[in-house]
Chains A and B, each alone.
Chain A
Amino acid sequence: MTPNLHLCLIPLLPLIGAAINGLLGRRFSRQQVSAIALGFCGAAFVMALWVAARFSSLTVPYIEHVAPWIRAGDFRADFAFYLDQLSLVMLLVVTGVGFLIHVYSVGYMWKDSGFYRFFSYLNLFMFFMLTLVLAGNYLVMFIGWEGVGLASYLLIGFWFTKDSAASAGKKAFIVNRIGDFGFLIGLFLMIKHFGSLNFTQLFQTVSGMGVEKDEAGLLTAIGVLLMVGAAGKSAQIPLYVWLPDAMEGPTPVSALIHAATMVTAGVYMVARSHVIFERAPLALMVVAIIGTLTALFAATIGLVQTDIKKVLAYSTVSQLGYMFMACGVAAFSAGIFHLMTHAFFKGLLFLAAGSVIHSLGGEQDMRLMGGLRTKIPWTFWTMTAATFAIAGFPPFAGFFSKDEILWRASRVSLVYWGIGLFTAFLTSFYMFRLWFLTFFGEYRGPEGAGLGHGAGQHHDAAHSDVPGDGGIHESPRVMLIPLAILAVLSVIGGWVGVPGSLGGSNHFGKFLSPVFHSTIPAAVSEGMPPEERTEGPEPTAGARQELLYTTVSVGAAFLGLFLAWLLYWRRPELPQRIADSLGGLYHTVLHKYYVDELYGMLVVKPVVDGSTRILWQGIDQNVIDATVNDSADSARHLSDAVRHMQSGNIRSYAGWVALGAALVIAYMVWMGVQ
């Protein structure tokens, strides 16, 4: 008998906080609102820690049935929660990083009039995200999946009076919906063929099936459909377009939802479904290819962005691509490892960027920054840690996770490795570009630092009044403490997964290996390295080779640093010259490869035109409205004609009665004659 952990409390606690703040928050002071929000979110975190502490004494997976939900025939879907190593890692990341971002938001949003609304949404998001992570079947996961989409919509469009924010929220919601459609069809397929959505039951059934190596079959179809869902939620090609626009939301939202937690839901889902993917090499290949392409594609766009948050947004898309690449080469634990370290350093990058924006009173254009190193030292140092982590410098967190992905990818195909390596170089380059542009050189902004010059055009318009006449200022302590904690995590977070080739033993991979334990006995012969490979003592030759690969990728990171230093510190006039000489190519990248325009032309415009001309003017106005109007008109005309009968004149009524009686009699006589 395993102890009852009351797992359902973990998601419910933030929900209570969301309800209290959402319903009553208007009357509360800011202190009360933040106490409630932080209290319930923190309680969830404490409970997650408590669960983690008791984890070793549990029989894994630990399943908790809360209540029956759908029971139709043989099909059953209950409110059930599922805890294993994978969900535990996600649980800690979500509650931990989420709590830190809650703390940060107190400082960041202090002056916003929607303070209580913001925290209510944040807590609501936590509820859905934790539901997603702890779900015991795909249907409960789907609740969380849709719910985080809703919370994301609400938070992106938080400043809904701004048109761009409102439409960014809509865009995110609609693009996500396309992905959800694929996910949902995948679920239907599972119900139809396996009759269950419970993880335990489903994976047991699938475990009995063979690998679809020769021809694509059911599992491949399910896998690809799940990937469509994951691509929507995790912003992969071709559905990544919503994430950069989502930067319209407040910066803590970008950190929490669009970097650390929600966008990783797709990775989590793919990793959770690894039993299916392992048996569908084609689906796995789709995942790997999409991940690799996205990583490269987004990184190139990130090179030329000038908005500090947009750089980070494309960087997020690119890093998510890495995670999918890892999943695609069946290195699920490496993907989750990167997910975790990415949550630390990307959350930190966004929060630090928010701190920069805060200090400049809403300025987001990096061309108008510079020289902030001495003015906001705390932000600078924490951001430095994050930058080195994402660029993959040892011994920062990003190094270990990225390196493991690249190593595992190289075992499957050198193409993945090559593109991944190049992307690592690009990542290093654009991150240090951001770093140099923001913190080094001369301050290029207008005098008086971000004093409301055209506040409306700023992203975080709410902050245009913050600096007042105080000039550039460091953020309050409530914002700096989360930065510092995340900075520490960005530095040491990777040490849990030091690979064997560097003298470590990859504790992280070992911890997760029971989850990703390959269920295919002959996996090695399929050319897919099973997870156990990271566990056992590596053969020396392999270790040496891995060390070589590691050296190369660190080299790439240094090359990126050097180039960024050269272009944005030594010779700041060079980038413009290079951009001019590249001409069209530069403009293509600057305009994000015109993908938005392409989608606008191929998808949005036909849909809008079709809706306008056919559905609105054609069907709605000419058929539906016309039917209603015409029937109303004909009723009016008919009653206009017959209303004269109702004269109120008794004798005319009597006449009608007599006429009617005469008709009845005539009819009966006629019938009698017949």
Chain B
Amino acid sequence: MVPISYYLVLSGILFGCGVVGFLIKRNIISIFMSIELMLNGVNLSFVAFAAQWHALSGQVFVFLVMVVAAAEAAVGLAIIIAVYRNRETLNVDQVNLLKL
């Protein structure tokens, strides 16, 4: 059996990649994908622990996260399309109308 630490390290790496991507990317879609990456990194650790402790709640939680992520993706992509239509760019630094 693969030790839990492997899963956790992989989960940490995925989450870290997501954070770094979120911070350095300017394209909204890339940022969106980074967020998905973070969510899935967390999901991985949930299922790893669920397997470890033979507890179903971790897996249930992951399903919940997946559903929310799917909903988020639907809304998010709609927003992205709306942004692109309005601004003709996906660069977040240029989508700053609310900033002073």
Contacts and interface: CB of A to CB of B under 8 A. Distances in A.
Q: Do A and B bind each other?
A: yes
Interface of A: 648-651, 654-655, 658
Nearest to A650: B92
16 contacts: A648-B96, A648-B99, A648-B100, A649-B93, A650-B92, A651-B22, A651-B23, A651-B24, A651-B31, A651-B92, A654-B19, A654-B22, A654-B23, A655-B23, A658-B19, A658-B23
A72 B28 CA distance: 75
B22 to A, nearest CB: 6
Interface string B63-100: 00000000000000000000000000000110010011
Contacts of A648: 96, 99-100
Contacts of B23: 651, 654-655, 658
A58 B93 CA distance: 97
A662 to B, nearest CB: 9
Interface of B: 19, 22-24, 31, 92-93, 96, 99-100
Contacts of A655: 23
Nearest to A661: B19
Nearest to A651: B23
A655 B19 CA distance: 8
A236 B24 CA distance: 88
Given A651-B24, A654-B22, A658-B19, 13 more contacts: A648-B96, A648-B99, A648-B100, A649-B93, A650-B92, A651-B22, A651-B23, A651-B31, A651-B92, A654-B19, A654-B23, A655-B23, A658-B23
Contacts, number: 16
A628 to B, nearest CB: 30
A371 B66 CA distance: 118
Nearest to A662: B19
A491 to B, nearest CB: 90
A651 B95 CA distance: 13
A436 to B, nearest CB: 88
Contacts of B100: 648
A655 B20 CA distance: 9
A648 B97 CA distance: 11
By Cβ-Cβ distance, the 9 closest A-B pairs, closest first, are A648-B99, A655-B23, A658-B19, A651-B23, A654-B22, A654-B23, A648-B100, A651-B22, A658-B23
Nearest to A652: B23
A633 B57 CA distance: 55
A643 to B, nearest CB: 12
Contacts of A658: 19, 23
A645 to B, nearest CB: 14
A658 B38 CA distance: 12
B100 to A, nearest CB: 7
Nearest to A648: B99
A654 B34 CA distance: 13
A651 B21 CA distance: 10
Nearest to B95: A650
Contacts of A651: 22-24, 31, 92
A648 B19 CA distance: 19
A654 B92 CA distance: 14
A170 B73 CA distance: 81
B19 to A, nearest CB: 5
A55 B93 CA distance: 97
A269 B59 CA distance: 96
A587 B96 CA distance: 87
B28 to A, nearest CB: 11
A649 B24 CA distance: 12
Contacts of B24: 651
Contacts of B19: 654, 658
B34 to A, nearest CB: 10
B82 to A, nearest CB: 18
A658 to B, nearest CB: 5
A658 B24 CA distance: 13
A654 B31 CA distance: 12
Contacts of B22: 651, 654
A507 to B, nearest CB: 92
A649 B100 CA distance: 11
B20 to A, nearest CB: 9
B53 to A, nearest CB: 19
A658 B21 CA distance: 12
Contacts of B92: 650-651
A644 to B, nearest CB: 14
A658 B93 CA distance: 20
Contacts of A649: 93
B74 to A, nearest CB: 21
A656 to B, nearest CB: 10
B30 to A, nearest CB: 11
Contacts of B31: 651
Contacts of B93: 649
A651 B99 CA distance: 13
Contacts of A650: 92
A654 B99 CA distance: 16
Contacts of B99: 648
A657 to B, nearest CB: 9
A654 B100 CA distance: 19
A658 B19 CA distance: 8
Nearest to A647: B99
Most buried by A among B19, B24, B92, B93: B19
Contacts of A654: 19, 22-23
Nearest to B22: A654
B27 to A, nearest CB: 12
B98 to A, nearest CB: 8
A654 B96 CA distance: 16
Most buried by B among A651, A654, A655: A651
A385 B70 CA distance: 114
A658 B96 CA distance: 22
B41 to A, nearest CB: 13
A648 B22 CA distance: 16
A649 B23 CA distance: 10
